[in-house]
Amino acid sequence: MDENDWLARHFEEQRGHLHAVAYRMLGSTGEADDAVQEAWLRLSRSDTQDVQNLAGWLTTVVARVSLNMLRSRSTRREEPLDDIAPESPSTDPNPEQQAELADSVGLALLVVLETLAPAERLAFVLHDMFAMPFEEIAPIVDRSPAAARQLASRARRRVQGTATVPRPDLTRQREVVDAFLAAARGGDFDALVAVLDPDVVLRTDGFTAPEGTPRELRGASEVAGQALFFSRRSPFSVPALVDGRVGLVVAPGGRLMVAMAVTISGDRITELDVIGDPARLDRLDLAILGR
């Protein structure tokens, strides 16, 4: 086996872990795929003969790439490190509590992470979710280990204070959207009508509506019928946060084609906005939701 084959085999062994790190950092499967691909390109171009821990090296590369991607899309300035008050080590939860925190927030975590500065997000994700030591995190964020610890601790306080449990409205939105998607996939007209408000409105743009199809439909029966017409896309549809609310995206092969913004009142969908215009899609804040 030559060196390239050996590197490729070991990279594939780490791909799942690397994607998990990138996804938690970026909140988007597409961007996570890009970060992992960039890690492979850097690996294939690098001299790794002196690398003793290839998994750690790859994790560091993915973390750096993800951090750069976060910074490039964020206009928020990080607070100066001097403004962070020193903390006692006793304020940090133990590793078991940290793992419980990281696992418990689920859907809400994706929302809260978007409020963190990039360096905070990286320190929290790598340490609390993937148990990377602060000594290894510090060079990635160009800080000392103590400063990296402070970044993670500050992020942890925000997560604990904002989303120790998922926001009930987002949790319920996810349940309603899941029911809508299941009914569409199953071709169940009655189940679709049941999850739609009687006065539901469906709006589509010129990029998604077939020629001659009305851009706006009203009423549960009309909208359910249209949803069944588009059910061929349902295998490629996945739940996502669309500008902070639970909706759907259609992304066959990882290529975003359509986003559906969903408005929910109580237990029923009141509005569906189907977006296929590339310019509008680029302006949306999207994050794919896992199970």
What are the pLDDT digits (tens) for 259-281?
A: 898 999 888 999 999 988 888 88
Q: By CB neighbour count within 10 A (0-12 exposed, 13-18 middle, 19+ buried), where does 257 fall? A: middle
> Max Cα separation, the chain?
66
**Which long-range CB contacts under 8 A does 148-154 form with residues at least 24 apart?**
148/123, 149/92, 149/123, 150/81, 150/84, 150/86, 150/87, 151/119, 151/120, 151/122, 151/123, 151/124, 152/120, 152/123, 152/124, 152/127, 152/128, 153/87, 153/91, 153/92, 154/84, 154/120
Sign of CA dihedral 229, 288, 102, 17: positive
Residue 266 is classified by DSSP as: T
Give the number of residues written for the chain: 291
Quote the DSSP letter at residue 2: -
Output the pLDDT for position 81.
35
Tokens standing for residue 128: 């609390």
pLDDT for position 75: 41
Segments making up each domain of the chain, as ranges: 3-163, 168-288
Are the beta carbons of 251 and 236 closer than 8 angstroms? yes
* Strands of 237-242's sheet in order across: 216-218, 196-204, 268-275, 258-265, 245-250, 237-242, 286-288
Cα separation, 128 vs 125, in Å, equals 6
Q: What is the DSSP secondary structure assignment for residue 79, as one 8-state letter? A: P
How much of the chain exceeds pLDDT 70, in percent? 79
pLDDT at 218 over 90: yes
Mean pLDDT of 157-173: 66
Q: How far apart are CA 23 and CA 33, in angstroms?
A: 8
Report d(CA 273, CA 280) in Å as an integer: 12
Q: Which residue has the tokens 């009687």?
A: 198
**pLDDT at residue 78 tops 70:** no
**What per-residue string of b and e applies to 50-61 under the rule 16 or more CB within 10 Å gives b?**
eeeebeebbbbb
Average pLDDT of span 193-207 = 91
What pLDDT, on a 0 to 100 scale, did the predictor assign at position 53?
Answer: 86
> Looking at beta carbons, which pairs linking 46-55 to residues 24 or more positions away fall under 8 Å?
48/7, 54/10, 54/14, 55/14, 55/17
If one looks up domain 3-163 in CATH, what number appears? Answer: 1.20.140
What is the token pair recorded at 192?
Answer: 């679709």
Question: Phi and psi at residue 241, in whole multiples of 5°?
Answer: -80, 125
Kindly provide the residue ranges of all beta strands, DSSP E only, lying in 24-111, ordered along the sequence: none
User: Residue 166 above 60 pLDDT?
Assistant: no
Give the pLDDT confidence score for residue 240 in this predicted structure: 86
Looking at the predicted structure, is the pLDDT value of residue 102 above 70? no
3-state helix, strand, coil in the chain (%, to 5): 60, 15, 25
Q: Is the pLDDT of residue 105 over 70?
A: no
Contact 269, 200 (CB under 8 A): yes
Q: Inform me whether the pLDDT recorded for 97 exceeds 60.
A: no
Phi, psi of 249 (to 5 degrees): -130, 150
Q: Say which CATH architecture domain 168-288 belongs to.
A: Roll (3.10)
Q: What is the pLDDT of residue 288?
A: 75
pLDDT attached to residue 198: 95
How far is it, in rounded angstroms, from Cα 182 to Cα 159? 31
